[in-house]
Every structure is written in C-alpha cells, then in structure tokens.
C-alpha cells in the first residue's frame, strides 16, 4: 500500500463529510484512510462510520479523547502505507493530491519527505516552502533547510506542518511516538523538527494540493493564558531533543521560537483576550522555562517597534509590551481613517 492517510477528528461535525469525500475522490486509489474519532462529543464518529461502510479503504478508530498527538499516534499505530499523509478533519485534499505525491515519489527515487503547498479554502492565503522547488539530498537539506528549520534571525522558517506532506512511515514512527501527548501547542514542530534531523532526502513542490479551512471559531485563533504553559511544554520537549544531526544553531533557533510565540500570543491577547491577564502572562515570561530562552533570543532586520516590544517581553513586562503594541496599532487605525 502506497499511502496511509491519518485523519484525527474531534468536534468538527459540519466539516468532516467534505474531508472524507475528498479522500474518496482521489484520482490515485492505492491508499488506506485511518479516521481517528478522538472521543468527539458530536456526530463525527457516526458520520465516519457511515463513510467507512461505503468504502473499505476507510477505517475508523474510536478512542477516548486524548488530544491531537494521541489521535495521531493511534492512527500511525494502525498504518501500513509506505508514506504517511496527515490530514486535519476540517480540511480536505485536492482530487489529485495523492497522485502528485506518488508521481513525485517515483520520479525522485522515493524521498523521505515530500512537501507541497497549502491553500485556504477561500483562496485568500497560501503557503509554500521558502526554498526553491526541487529535490534536496542530505547536503542540500543541511544547507537550505536547517538554517530556518525552527526560525532564522529574520523570522523565516520552513513549513513546520505535518499536513501538506507525505512522510515515509518509518520516519514518522521514529518520531511521533516520542512526542508527549500533553503537547498541545507546537505539536507539528515537535514532530517535523526531528524528522528533518533524520531525513536523507526531500522533494519540494509549490503545487497547492492541501486545502485548509480558515475558521474564526478555531481554538488556534483564540487567546488563553494556558497557551504559555503549552508553549513551555513544547519548549521542554524541543530542548530535550538530540540535535547532534540537526542545525548547529538549533538552541538559538529554539530561543527565537520562544520569543516569536510569546510575541504572537500578546497580539492574540489584544485581539480577543479577556481583561486582567497581563500579570499572569508576566509570571510565565519570568518563569524558569521561558525566561532563559527569551533572554537569549536574537533577531535581525526587525523594526524599532518590534525590537522594543521584544525587549519588554525579555524583561517580563507584559503590560508594557501590550500597551505599546496596542498604542501603535491604534495610531495606525486613526491615521488610516484620516485622523477622524
């Protein structure tokens, strides 16, 4: 079997049918799809069972809720394909996605990783790797991918998503089962990073075959103070990786990841956070996990405003960073409105 498509499902009843339809509509048919119902409280499990009855290539695993990492592990444990394709249950695949993966794999000698582009359902956004299309051997992976594996000094990074890729099963197995199930932020980064440590070959294509849904109600768009605890958990895992086969500056990249994530969380807090969280945010910024990473983080080419905000974050001054950012954005909106 060429592909195992792993689809974790939880609380996405309005979207899961379209996802499953896109799997069954693939022009390349040598695959199995393992749908993991992660204790979904809605009708997701029933819908998945209905589709599995229609086509034997769909297999459904029902399990108690354990989170995304747990669901991916359950799917991977049952997988038999040469390549693993990860698909979120509220996204879908272009009809020729697996065909293009297969054609590229055979053309380029079965690379360890195939990475294609991602497109928003409304066409408003798309993402591709920030490197040239083509085949990368181990030397080129070190030269082109490693410098921005987590985050380079200018904020650039390769696509850290598991989705949009086909990964040799033995490679993902070697990594996925080591990711703690409690990791609920940076789950993909914690998996793709060591996968790249081990990868001997990679094929990059800009074709946008993975279609992701932009959801304003998604948990990933909402601010919660626990995001800082989730970041700390991910950082602890990344710090513990054996990076001897990875980038020489891997610790510095993790430092920048800590800073950029903390910066983004403050923006999210400004957009939809509940008032009164700034003291608790400061506690996390000054905590034993985040503080040393933030203190060491160094960037280049950022604006003066961003550098000042990052300086305040390094000092654990969440209120100062928040109000400076908010004031600048308020001034921008005022000027854009003609000063009215």
Summarised one tens digit per residue, pLDDT across range 20-73 is: 999 999 999 999 999 999 999 999 999 999 999 999 999 999 999 999 999 999
**pTM of the full predicted structure?**
0.93
pLDDT at 124: 78
- Give the angle subtended at the CA of 9 by the CAs of 211 and 47, to the nearest 5°: 100
Distance of CA 146 to the CA centre of its chain: 17
Where do the DSSP E strands lie in the chain?
Answer: 3-9, 31-38, 58-63, 83-86, 92-93, 113-120, 126-127, 134-137, 165-168, 201-212
> What is the average pLDDT across 167-175?
97
CA 53 to chain centre: 31
Tens digits of residue pLDDT in 184-193: 889 999 999 9
State the chain's mean pLDDT as an integer: 94
Residues 250-295 have pLDDT tens digits of 999 999 999 999 999 999 998 877 888 999 999 999 999 999 999 9
Q: What is the DSSP letter of 166?
A: E
N- to C-terminal Cα distance for the chain?
63
pLDDT 10s digits, 79-124 = 999 999 999 999 999 999 999 999 999 999 999 999 999 999 877 7
Burial 9-20 (b: 16+ CB within 10 A, else e): bbbbbebbbebb
Nearest to 168 by CA among 73, 79, 86, 82: 82
What pLDDT was estimated at residue 223? 80
pLDDT at position 272:
78
Distance CA 147, CA 248 (A): 9
**Can you tell me the distance from the alpha carbon of 233 to that of 227, in angstroms, rounded to the nearest whole number?**
10
Of 232 and 184, the one with more pLDDT: 232
């Amino acid at each position: 079997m060429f592909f195992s498509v792993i689809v974790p499902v939880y609380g996405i009843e309005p979207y899961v049918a379209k996802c499953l339809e896109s799997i069954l509509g693939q022009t390349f048919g040598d695959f199995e799809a393992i749908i993991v119902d992660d204790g979904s409280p809605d009708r997701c499990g029933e819908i998945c069972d209905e589709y599995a009855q229609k086509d034997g290539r769909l297999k459904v695993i029902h399990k108690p809720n354990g989170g995304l990492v747990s669901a991916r592990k359950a799917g991977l444990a049952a997988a038999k394909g040469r390549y693993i394709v990860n698909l979120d249950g509220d996204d879908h695949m272009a009809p020729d996605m697996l065909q293009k993966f297969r054609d590229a794999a055979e053309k380029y000698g079965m690379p360890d990783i195939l990475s294609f582009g991602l497109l928003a359902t409304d066409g408003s956004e798309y993402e591709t790797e920030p490197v040239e299309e083509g085949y990368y051997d181990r030397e080129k992976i070190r030269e082109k991918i490693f410098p921005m594996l987590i985050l380079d000094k200018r904020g650039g990074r390769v696509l850290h998503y598991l989705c949009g890729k086909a990964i040799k099963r033995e490679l993902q197995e070697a990594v996925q089962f080591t990711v703690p199930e409690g990791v609920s932020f940076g789950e993909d980064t914690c998996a793709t990073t060591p996968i790249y440590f081990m990868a001997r070959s990679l094929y990059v294509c800009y074709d946008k075959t993975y279609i992701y849904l932009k959801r304003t109600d998604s948990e990933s768009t909402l601010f919660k103070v626990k995001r800082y605890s989730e970041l700390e958990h991910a950082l602890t895992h990344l710090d513990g990786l054996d990076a001897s086969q990875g980038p020489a500056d891997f610790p510095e990249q993790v430092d920048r990841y800590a800073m950029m994530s903390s910066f983004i969380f403050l923006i999210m807090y400004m957009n939809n956070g509940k008032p009164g969280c700034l003291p608790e945010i400061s506690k996390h910024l000054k905590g034993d996990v985040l503080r040393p990473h933030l203190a060491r983080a160094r960037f280049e080419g950022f604006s003066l405003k961003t550098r000042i905000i990052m300086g305040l974050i390094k000092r654990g001054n969440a209120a100062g960073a928040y109000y400076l950012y908010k004031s600048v954005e308020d001034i921008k909106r005022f000027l854009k409105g003609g000063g009215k």
